[in-house]
Structure 1
Amino acid sequence: MTFAAAPTGIGMVGVALAFGLTVVTMAYAVGHLSGGHFNPAVTLGLWLGRRTRSRDVLPYMATQVVAAIAAAAVLFAVAEGRPGYRLDVDGLAANGYGVHSPDKYTVGAAFLIEALLTLVFVLIILGVTDRRAPAGLGPLAIGLALTVIHLVSIPVTNTSVNPARSTGPALIAGGWALAQLWLFWLAPLLGAAVAGVVYRHLTGETGAEPVAAEGQDVAEGEKIMR
């Protein structure tokens, strides 16, 4: 007896959940060590929101990009193990606009969705890591937000909101992916910058709201100074 092969793809919902659940688990795993920075746009937004020390910004961003390139290389090595796989035909989930958008969205639409969704994402991160927010639920909210963001924007750009995530596949795929990479740096960084500045003014915070281990030290220091 033979059985027809079942489809193995996880679809758009599966991809969205994979990204969201990855961020949830990693934020819980290492958030208490480093603040859980996996995204240059998030690092920029948190720095402008005065949650991250200036001296950490460039090392964090460099680490994120290097890690993303390494991850893309591993993904490519796995993909090559599938019979018939061709990089120029099957791609590597690179982000794109125009003819390289999954549903052929224009460059303007791609820029708008990436900037806006990154702005929302960083606002959510700033909100759930605020010392006034319910403790322990931040990573879950962040992961759910990223899942929703993917469901909205996969058809538009294949979803970036993370310049490092875009850089890894673009460097391996080359060609059009590398030529269009500028948008997936500029739009997310712009959205994150707006979020970082706006959050402080909307909430009336002093700005001394670092996360993870150093937060308590700063809070105690403020009490002493008063």
Structure 2
Amino acid sequence: MSRARAISVQEITGKFKELETPELGHDINLTLVLSNGMPSDKTITVNFNANVTGYTRRIMRNFMKQSVSISMASKEEKEIPFKIPYSKYIQRLLDDKVVEVTALCKWDDTGKVLISKIITLKTPSLNIKVLGDAVINNPLSAEITFTNPLNEPLSDCRVLAEGSGLIKQQIEKKISLKPKEKTTVTIEFKPYMRGSKQLNVVVFCTKTFTLKDFLIIVVKKS
């Protein structure tokens, strides 16, 4: 009776690993870890690509390419650094702040493997705090606090606030921020409907980043 014999897979494999949590406003530092499982030495060409995309990945815009050639002995593992400078991606990000990195690795005439990683950049928090009780037709204030995550000043930021039953006309405030500056913006409004209402806040910095958050406010009867 014949018996099937397990065959070991001999190939080149790889994966990306992050050196730290990628944050908006900082360089993205990755390492591609390659393993040569082949029985012979190989010369591998690695073509890196960085694309801005979104959670749905319907949009894909390439903004950086880089190629490197390496030699690997049989059964050897190597780490290849790949750095995406902040200046390369900051003007191209979509609202989701997602970057896809791929490495197409080729060897011999036909051997190839595609390795990819999706990176969601960590963004600064947007804190909304209501000052006092929300009572219908009474003035109410809210504080909006956030930090400029960049190492450069921002002179074109707008804070937008709206909410059905809370604000009849959208509130807009223009501000400037120093590098890494933390700021608090105060808005005032009169809730005009009682019940549970949602205050929506957007901090929009042209061509740089957008922060969004909301707060549920329970408006009481006067």
Q: TM-score, normalised on structure 1?
A: 0.24
Structure with the higher fraction of residues in strand conformation: 2
Structure with the bigger RCO (C-alpha within 8 Å, sep 6+) is 1
Structure with the higher fraction of residues in helix conformation: 1
Instruction: Flag the structure with larger Rg.
Output: 2
